[in-house]
Chains A and B, each alone.
Chain A
Amino acid sequence: MPRIILHSDCNGFYAAVECLYRPEIRNKPVVVGGDESLRHGVVLAANQLAKRIYKVKTGEALIHVRQRCPDLIIVKPNHKLYLRFAKLAREIYNDYTDQVEPFGLDESFIGLTGIAESVGDGERIADTIRERIKYELGITVSIGVSYTKSFAKLASDMRKPDFTTVIAPDEFRQKVWPQPVGDLIYVGAASAEKLRLHGIHTIGDLAGSKREDIISWIRNKNGGLLWDYANGFDSSVVRQFEECMNDDSGIKGFSHSTTTPRDLCNADDMKVTVMVLAEAVAARLREHKRLSKTVSLWLRDNKMSAFTRQCKTAAPTNLAYEIAETAMKLYHACYGSLGNPGSTLLPIRSVGVRASDLVREEEYYQLSFLPKEHKRQNIMAIERAMDDIRERYGHTAISRGVLIRDRALGSDNPKEDHIHTFPNCQGA
């Protein structure tokens, strides 16, 4: 039975949804951008006109884009609406198979093995899905059809917007191998650079190298995986949506980051921001019944240079209080006890907190008669009570005193407002 896998990618997803709801801007260059007053002013998505005429790219600073294209229309994001469209798209995929694995909000793998009899059959289903999405949702998707997930993903990126691209088992050498190695799934900028230094520019170069060389050059377990993908050896299956949502066994860590409304110049500012992020990280740890043994702090200064520091926690924890305390220790180790006085270090623009090195709650429970443990149990009870109150009455129903000190910095709710993964790390 041939493996048939589709990868569907919504084209310029956020911008396409906004253009559907606003016919008056549909034929103009449009980008969806973050709030510049909060210094989140980057391009989140661009429509085809903005991409084609002005070469706008996701992640570009709005200030630069606006200089280059004065007639560009910038709209604010509406995440609830995008979630609704993602669900509606999934409902369409589910009419053909129950193997629909989300890959981000706007992408899905669709498993048709056992349903489609050949790649040609898969292509026909892909074309039907594309037409239905266009007719029923008013947006377009590009779909890749192949026999592995990695090639299906690659195929969906080859022709956009609103195309079906097929990579059959007998043609991957002609179609896949000439592509730049950076186009292969999981080859990030750092891996691509490492490979480039060894003379590997295309996926074909990667496929033709020795597997052990790639592992030693990439220096992590992905090296072997990338070689396998390049050679068409990808046996990973498409999982069901519910299975993906319920399976948290692969979680390596939880992280949140934010760009603050103003630069952080001292330890008090930092404490507020770190507590906001630690609360979000700790709540997610408790949600997934995990404890963290390592806390990392990522800082980016106002000249955009960034660095990360990490250390072990005193004991495995899922308490915001302890995560924030550990993150502040890391901050003080870099910036001194008061935070930057007389230092050559610059004010901070963005902060991230990550909890990793996870263990399951039920695997770790250490009893102690020390007074410190008693205090810890009290903090745990308080934080769980806060979780309950927030679940019933919303995030703002209860707040820590430290966050009221600076409402501009302390009013953020990273857990629900936006999903930011920790820079340069694979977030959960």
Chain B
Amino acid sequence: MGHKVYVPVTAEFDADGNIMPVALTWLDGHVYEIDRILDVRRAASLKGGGLGLRYTCRINGRTTHIWLDESRWFVESKRGIN
């Protein structure tokens, strides 16, 4: 079962007011730069539990999803916060 993990995210607003994540900080403090945003759409997170605006991102060559749920960012993770 997946877990929902809220993470700190550095994001930018573009001139049209769209918000785009630039980097996220994982639980161990490591900062992951987001190389590219592939898709943005509203979607449910069945593994993490919840919904929001889902950003499909390329990080270190891997595709991952980050959700913006109102004003908080979260990811689905195999391990939760202990």
> Which secondary structure characterizes the binding site on chain A?
helix
A136 contacts B42, C-beta separation under 8 Å: yes
Contacts of A188 in B (CB 8 A): none
- Say whether B47 faces chain A, with CB atoms less than 8 Å apart: yes
Interface string of B29-56 (1 = CB under 8 A from A): 0000000000001111111111100000
Residue pair B49, A135 in contact (C-beta under 8 Å): no
Interface size class of A (residues with CB under 8 A): 10 to 19
Q: How far is the CB of A22 from chain B (nearest CB, A)?
A: 6
- Min distance, Cβ B77 to any Cβ of chain A, angstroms: 12
Query: Given A136-B51, A138-B51, are A20 and B46 also a contact pair (CB < 8 Å)?
Result: yes
Q: In the assembly, what is the distance between CA of A135 and CA of B47, in Å?
A: 13
Residue in B closest to A136 when the chains form the complex, CB atoms: B42
Say yes or no for A369: interface residue by CB 8 A criterion: no
Q: Which of A22, A136, A137 contacts B49 (CB 8 A)?
A: A22
Q: Which residue of B lies closest to A18 (CB)?
A: B49
Report A-chain residues with C-beta under 8 Å of the C-beta of B47: 23
CB contacts under 8 Å to A, within B39-82, are 41-51
Report yes or no: A23 in contact with B44, Cβ–Cβ below 8 A. no
Q: Using Cβ atoms and an 8 Å threshold, which residues of chain B touch A137? A: 44, 51
B1 at the interface (CB under 8 A from A): yes
Q: How far is the CB of B47 from chain A (nearest CB, A)?
A: 6
* A20 close to B51 (CB less than 8 A): yes
Residue numbers in B under 8 Å from A24 (CB-CB): 1
Provide the bound-state CA to CA distance between A134 and B46, in Å.
10
Q: Which residues of chain B are within 8 angstroms of A135 by Cβ–Cβ distance?
A: 43-44
Collect the chain B residues with CB atoms within 8 Å of residue A23's CB.
Answer: 1-2, 46-49
Nearest CB on A from B9, distance (A): 21
**Do the beta carbons of A138 and B1 come within 8 Å of each other?**
no
Beta-carbon contact of B44 and A20 below 8 Å? yes
A139 proximity list for chain B (CB < 8 A): 44
Interface centre among A23, A134, A137 (most CB of B within 10 A): A23
CA distance A105 to B47 in the complex (A): 26
Residues of B within 8 A of A138 (CB): 44-46, 50-51
Per-position contact with B for A100-142: 1 when CB-CB < 8 Å, else 0?
0000000000000000000000000000000000111111000
Chain A residue nearest to B1 (CB atoms) is A23
Which A residues, 20 to 43, have Cβ-Cβ distances below 8 Å to chain B?
Answer: 20-24
Give CA–CA (A21, B74) in the complex, Å: 13
- Shortest C-beta distance, B60 to chain A (Å), equals 27
Enumerate A47-102 residues with CB–CB distance to B below 8 Å.
88
Q: Give complex CA distance A136, B45 in Å.
A: 9
Neighbouring A residues of B43 by C-beta, 8 Å: 135-136
Complexed CA–CA distance, A385 and B27 (Å): 50
Q: Smallest distance from the beta carbon of B52 to chain A beta carbons, Å?
A: 10
Cα separation A139 to B43 with both chains bound (whole Å) = 11
For A138, give the chain B residue with the smallest CB separation.
B44
Complex alpha-carbon distance, A24 and B44, angstroms: 16
Give the CA-CA distance A138 to B44 in the complex, in Å: 5
Task: Report whether A136 and B44 are in contact in the complex, using a CB–CB cutoff of 8 Å.
Answer: yes
Least Cβ distance of A291 to chain B in Å?
40
A-B interface, 6 closest residue pairs, ranked by CB to CB distance from nearest:
A138-B44, A136-B42, A21-B49, A23-B49, A21-B50, A138-B51
What is the interface of chain B, defined by CB distance below 8 A to chain A? 1-2, 41-51
> Known pairs A20-B46, A136-B42, A136-B51. 19 more at Cβ < 8 A?
A20-B49, A20-B51, A22-B49, A23-B1, A23-B2, A23-B46, A23-B47, A23-B48, A23-B49, A24-B1, A88-B42, A134-B44, A136-B43, A136-B44, A137-B44, A138-B44, A138-B45, A138-B46, A138-B50
Q: List 30 A-B contacts (CB under 8 A).
A: A20-B44, A20-B46, A20-B49, A20-B50, A20-B51, A21-B49, A21-B50, A22-B49, A23-B1, A23-B2, A23-B47, A23-B48, A23-B49, A24-B1, A88-B42, A88-B51, A134-B44, A135-B43, A135-B44, A136-B41, A136-B44, A136-B51, A137-B44, A137-B51, A138-B44, A138-B45, A138-B46, A138-B50, A138-B51, A139-B44
